[in-house]
Chains A and B, each alone.
Chain A
Amino acid sequence: MTDTPPSDTPKRRFRLTRRRMILGSGLVGGALVVGYTAMNPMQVGGALLTAGGPDFDPGPFGPYIRIDADGGVAIVNPQQEMGQGIHAALAAMIAEELDADWDTVRVVDARVNFAAYGPQMTAGSHAVAYHWDKLRKTGAAARSMFVDAAALRWQVPRRLITVQNGVVSHPQSNRSASFAELLTDAARHAPPREPVLKRPEEFRLIGTDRVRRKDCGPKSTGRQVYTQDIQRPDMLVAMVAHSPRFGGMLKRFDDRDARRIKGVVDVFAIETGVAVLAQDTLAARRGRDALRIEWDDSAAERRSSPELTAWYRDIAVGRAVIDATSFETRGDIEQPQTGDRFETTIDFPYLAHAPMEPLDCVAQVRGWDVDIWSGSHLATLDQVQAALTARTIPGRVKLHVLPAGGSFGRRGLMSCDYLVECVRIARRTGHRPVKLMWTREDEMTGGYYRPMVHHQASIVLGADGLPSDWRHRIVAQRLIPVGDNPQNSEGVAGSPYFAAANTLDCRIASPELPVSVSFWRSVGHSHTAMAMEHIVDQLARRARRDPAEYRRALYQKAGATGRLRVLEALCTRAGWGKPLEDGWARGMALHDCFGTIVGQVAEVRLDSGRLVVRRVVAVVDCGIAVSPDQVAAQMEGGIGFGLSAALHGAITLKDGVVQEDNFDSYAPVRMDEMPLVETHILPSTRPPTGMGEPGVPPIAPAVANALFALTGTPTRSLPFGRQA
């Protein structure tokens, strides 16, 4: 896909009436707003509103649809493509209502433009849900304009006109015309105020296997251009030496050797370390290696992971005191627990995102004007941050959003760390463009991790075997600097497993330390699903009940009908309860997040101590599955990603220094470890919900529960087989 400017059709007919609505809805609620507020509300708010430039012309069919003179339909994707296939799902929504010829529809990426697209933020698996009505209405409005044009031209009633595959017809008179033939006329009609949408049963495209990604061609021939591949005239390559410890500050550096390296152009200190500018990547790397740097570690984190884990455990039991907030309270929590108490803890490590494309960004600063090439998924925020860094206004920042070689949240930071770093460097190159390259080591040791987490639970079962008294403590750093850390209690908060509890006391404590943390694919659910789903299997065993049957009882009590439906399908599809070969066991987990419910059953064996997962059966309820193929792809990807973390993933500190810095020490699953994945999508007429993240959370507990079934030993820390 290319970055194509919006249509140059001269007329401006499509009024951007939804702009206010976007402002009203897109910026309220949710974490992103809190992030804005935390920075500087006036400055950021004002800057945002001027973003995008005043000269944007949406064209006759609005900012999302461009139809060429030859009838070719291009759909503008306002969201960022990082592998999740969002471009195809969004385009299909428009193409469905427009009745365009899907096979020839092209998708182009939008340039960042607040006036046209509102805040462009791709996060929280929200894109499909957020755009569902909006984009379909856009498509339906354009379709209606073609129908108007045909009705007028043929002098027939609108209702007798049909549209299919980009052809408008009046069957009674056997007349038909293509979009191309009607284009000029259609563009003269005004879009209807309230376009009529299809009922789900009328869909011809949505929900079919025809909705496939449109970017497989360039991505299967090496032709897809990523930020890493950008070349600009006169461009320099930059690398930055960062403090090896979080919170370390630059004391002094000696760049004499670095400057002697052939190709090194300049060396200077910036806020985040020492930047080396060179003619090419290798020279930048060699120049950086030749730096001699002294760091001031007086404010740096010097502890090692075991000390942090011990501290977190102390916090959970009150031996170390930091403020905690309650997120679930029921009954008399001052009363000590009585009866047969089940207690457990589980520790989670820091996790790096390790997208296949290490972090990179290209920036050129020319006075007020800034050009950025980046795989940004919080594009609007990145635009604002770039402007603040370059001391200009967002309207002067042209952000060319490129597909990212993965992100998993790393390219979606509030502080846009690597982009800001790149702009800082680009301010000092005399207008020359700069490509900032982080090495794999930079990325893995550079922080913004999924936080370390400790869960501690103490639960009493009632006479019916269901939890009657549940006390739960979570210890995890905040993902954003303010608030009660809701991102790390999501998945425990509101759990259906609390349905039978008279007493409920859940609290979260948020320690502060210099190690930076952030959003990691599925965010808090990446640990809360493991905690809750593994606890439930242990409770079921205590109550001498089958894990599926035990869940069913709790879901019934909670009125969790969505979960019940997934559970029933999962049991059937996975053959729950049917015998397996010797040495194999099944484990189940079910979780809902971002509006999507996923259940997974893993088949697991211990092969002389090595954990083998051969097959995962997954059932998903994501509302209407716009692209079943991509739902399955995200399920496969989510399972591989979650399994990588569960089997091998840990970022650990020794004297404050990160020990894992490349794929040898931080190992994702490889082909020989990848289980078969079978995805079953539940039929639904509910509006679609996201799929980029919900496949991740259930896999770790599904495997843990299978192991528990095999060995009788619960998992107390991840990754499996490792002592926290």
Chain B
Amino acid sequence: MTHSLFVNGRLHSVDTDGDAPLLWVLRDHLRLTGTKYGCGKAQCGACTVHADGQPVRSCSLSLADAATSRIETIEGAAGPEAEALTAAWVARGVPQCGFCQSGQLMSALALLRANSAPTDADIDAAMSGNLCRCATYNRIRAGIHDAAAALGDRS
């Protein structure tokens, strides 16, 4: 069955069943492979994307449900918050293996867009759904603070 899916500002038509998890639609059908598979059951956050601005685990969201929302993936992440986060990630040397980082960045992006000056507790709450087996957590936290500060300076 054909579904229309709005991803990164473009309308795609996807020929698969509505039960298909969004993750596999993004990766295998739309070839947007920045979104990663890590657990398949909403435990690791590697597959985090935004649905109408909210961070969601794309492995656990069906295509049928996703088709009603605007989806944003790491490939489409843009704007001042996204730029500030990437710059902070590079400056801090956050990634190690890097595999979790698309998901980390999408969670951090949703946080920063909603909260321009998050506290440590805000960060814990927003980020604890994202695992990092390389344990880059302290640098992620610092990176989010750096990005928030950079955005604050700019405005």
Contacts and interface: CB of A to CB of B under 8 A. Distances in A.
Interface stretch (A217-225, A325-333, A482-490, A712-720): A217-225
B44 A356 contact: yes
Contact of A82 (B29, B38, B46, B97): B97
B101 A219 contact: yes
Interface string B24-58: 10011101011111111101101000000000000
Contacts of B116: none
Contacts of A672: 124, 128
Nearest to A440: B39
B114 interface: no
Nearest to A354: B133
Nearest to B36: A228
Nearest to B86: A220
B interface, how many residues as a size bin? 35 or more
A636 B90 contact: no
Interface stretch (A342-350, A464-472, A662-670): A662-670
A670 B130 CA distance: 7
A85 interface: yes
Contact of B41 (A213, A218, A662): A662
Nearest to B34: A222
Contacts of A237: 28
B121 to A, nearest CB: 9
What are the 9 tightest A-B residue pairs by CB atom distance, in nearest-first order?
A: A640-B135, A222-B34, A405-B99, A83-B97, A219-B98, A222-B74, A83-B96, A229-B33, A220-B89
Contacts of A405: 36, 97-100
A613 to B, nearest CB: 12
Contact of A280 (B28, B93, B97): B28
A398 to B, nearest CB: 22
Contacts of B33: 225, 228-229, 231
A599 interface: no
A674 B102 CA distance: 20
Interface of A: 82-85, 212-213, 215-226, 228-229, 231, 237, 280-282, 354-358, 403-408, 437, 439-440, 629-630, 633, 636-641, 643-644, 662-664, 668-672, 674, 676-677
Nearest to A231: B31
A357 B36 contact: yes
Q: Summarize B's interface: helix, strand, loop or mixed.
A: loop
B19 to A, nearest CB: 9
Contacts of B28: 237, 280-282
A219 B24 CA distance: 21
B105 interface: yes
Interface in B44-98: 44, 46, 73-75, 77, 85-86, 89-90, 93-98
A677 B105 contact: no
B12 interface: no
A715 B36 CA distance: 38
A356 B99 contact: yes
Nearest to A82: B97
Given A280-B29, A633-B139, 9 more contacts: A220-B95, A228-B33, A281-B27, A281-B28, A354-B133, A356-B36, A405-B100, A633-B93, A674-B138
Contacts of A212: 93
B90 A220 contact: yes
B97 A670 contact: no
Interface of B: 16, 20-21, 24, 27-29, 31, 33-41, 43-44, 46, 73-75, 77, 85-86, 89-90, 93-102, 105, 123-124, 127-128, 130-141
A640 B95 contact: no
Given A215-B98, A405-B98, A406-B99, A356 B137 contact: no
A641 B135 contact: yes
A636 B139 contact: yes
A281 B38 contact: no
Contacts of B35: 222
A356 B41 CA distance: 14
Contacts of A280: 24, 28-29
Nearest to A221: B86
Contacts of B29: 280
Contacts of A408: 133
A224 B29 CA distance: 19
B96 A84 contact: yes
Most central of B24, B36, B139, B140 by chain A CB within 10 Å: B36
A357 B99 contact: yes
B133 to A, nearest CB: 5
Q: Summarize A's interface: helix, strand, loop or mixed.
A: loop
B29 to A, nearest CB: 8
A629 B99 CA distance: 20
A102 to B, nearest CB: 15
Contacts of A215: 95, 98
Most central of A225, A669, A674 by chain B CB within 10 Å: A674
B132 A676 contact: no
A223 B85 CA distance: 15
B123 to A, nearest CB: 7
B96 A637 contact: yes
B2 to A, nearest CB: 14
Given A215-B95, A220-B89, A282-B28, A637 B36 contact: no
B127 A356 contact: no
Given A216-B90, A663-B131, A671-B130, A228 B95 contact: no
Contacts of A638: 135
Given A637-B135, A672-B128, A226 B24 contact: no
A676 B132 CA distance: 15
Nearest to B125: A672
A630 B77 CA distance: 28
Nearest to A216: B90
Contacts of A670: 128, 130-131, 137
Most central of B38, B130, B133, B138 by chain A CB within 10 Å: B133
A405 to B, nearest CB: 3
A671 B97 contact: no
A672 B42 CA distance: 18
Most central of B46, B138, B139 by chain A CB within 10 Å: B138
Contacts of A281: 24, 27-28, 37
A668 B24 contact: no
Nearest to A219: B98
Contacts of A231: 31, 33
A664 B24 contact: no
Nearest to B143: A220
A636 B138 contact: yes
B21 A356 contact: no
A307 to B, nearest CB: 29
A639 B135 contact: yes
Contact of A216 (B40, B74, B89, B135): B89
A668 B131 contact: yes
A433 to B, nearest CB: 15
B59 to A, nearest CB: 10
